[in-house]
Amino acid sequence: MTIRCEIISQDRTVFTGDVDIVVIPGAGGEMGVLPRHAPVLTTLKFGVVKVRVGGKEEVFTVAGGVAEVQPEIVTILADRAENIQEIDVSRAEAAKKRAEEFLAKGIPTDPDRYLVMEAALRRSNLRLDAVRRYRKSDVRIPGSEK
Ligand code: ATP
């Protein structure tokens, strides 16, 4: 028995497929979702979603969002989401550097821009940490639509 999983970000469908288990970074902590799970609605922390199917695992970064669990489907709506195999490390490093240089100047006259750069720094740190921890050398992205 499997459960359908859909990971959708603001700009695309990042993953869709039938899987054995989905592990999500829920507001109350990491949560494993198996087929026939009771309905739950939770916000997501910045973290990783793990999807396992047939002994293989795919890992996705999610920069906040919500997850709706139903017995036959988990729908993850994330502000940003990427399969860790598709993360461009140079881009994340450049984003981190840009944000750090801006934030190092201290509180600016434009507080909105400050918040934007703080959020960009969190996203780039999330991507770089996840690649360091979870990326495997064999690049395989089943179910992903690019
Ligand atoms: P950046 O500051 O590098 O642009 P961002 O988080 O602001 O990062 P957006 O421009 O908002 O990125 O995102 C556009 C698309 O690019 C989204 O689908 C996002 O998931 C993806 N994306 C962002 N950074 C990376 C990355 N380092 N590797 C792969 N995809 C990325």
75-92 tens-digit pLDDT: 999 999 999 999 999 999
| 51 close to 81: Cβ distance less than 8 angstroms | no
| 131 close to 4: Cβ distance less than 8 angstroms | no
Residue 107 CB partners (closer than 8 Å, separation 6+)? 114
Query: Tell me, what's the pLDDT at 109?
Result: 78
Q: Are residue 38 and residue 96 in the same domain, yes or no?
A: no
Residue 58 CB partners (closer than 8 Å, separation 6+)? 15, 50, 51, 52, 83, 85, 141, 142, 143
- What does the mean pLDDT of the chain come to? 93
Domain count, the chain: 2
Q: Is 120 in the pocket of ligand 1 (CB under 6 A)?
A: yes
Run of H or E residues at 123: helix 111-134
Q: Which atom of ligand 1 is nearest to the CA of 94?
A: 3
Mean pLDDT of 6-24: 97
Q: Is 96 in the pocket of ligand 1 (CB under 6 A)?
A: no
CATH number for the domain spanning 23: value is 2.60.15.10
pLDDT per residue over 23-74, tens digit each? 999 999 999 999 999 999 999 999 999 999 999 999 999 999 999 999 999 9
Query: Tell me, what's the pLDDT at 142?
Result: 52
Mean pLDDT of 108-128: 92
> Which candidate, 134, 28, 34, places its Cα nearest to that of 82?
134
For 74, the domain range is 3-84
pLDDT for 143 beyond 90? no
Query: Tell me, what's the pLDDT at 145?
Result: 46
Q: Are residue 77 and residue 39 in the same domain, yes or no?
A: yes
Q: Are strands 40-53 and 21-26 parallel, antiparallel or unpaired?
A: antiparallel
pLDDT for 107 beyond 80? no
Residue with CA nearest ligand 1 atom 29: 87
**Ligand 1: distance of its center to the CA of 124 in Å?**
9
**Ligand 1: distance of its center to the CA of 57 in Å?**
23
* 146: in domain: no
Q: Is 92 in the pocket of ligand 1 (CB under 6 A)?
A: yes
Quote the percentage of the chain above a pLDDT of 70.
Answer: 92
* 35: in domain: yes
Residue with CA nearest ligand 1 atom 9: 80
Q: What are phi and psi of 93, to 5 degrees?
A: -65, -40
pLDDT for 95 beyond 90? yes
| 103 close to 114: Cβ distance less than 8 angstroms | yes
Q: Which atom of ligand 1 is nearest to the CA of 12?
A: 18
Q: Is 21 in the pocket of ligand 1 (CB under 6 A)?
A: no
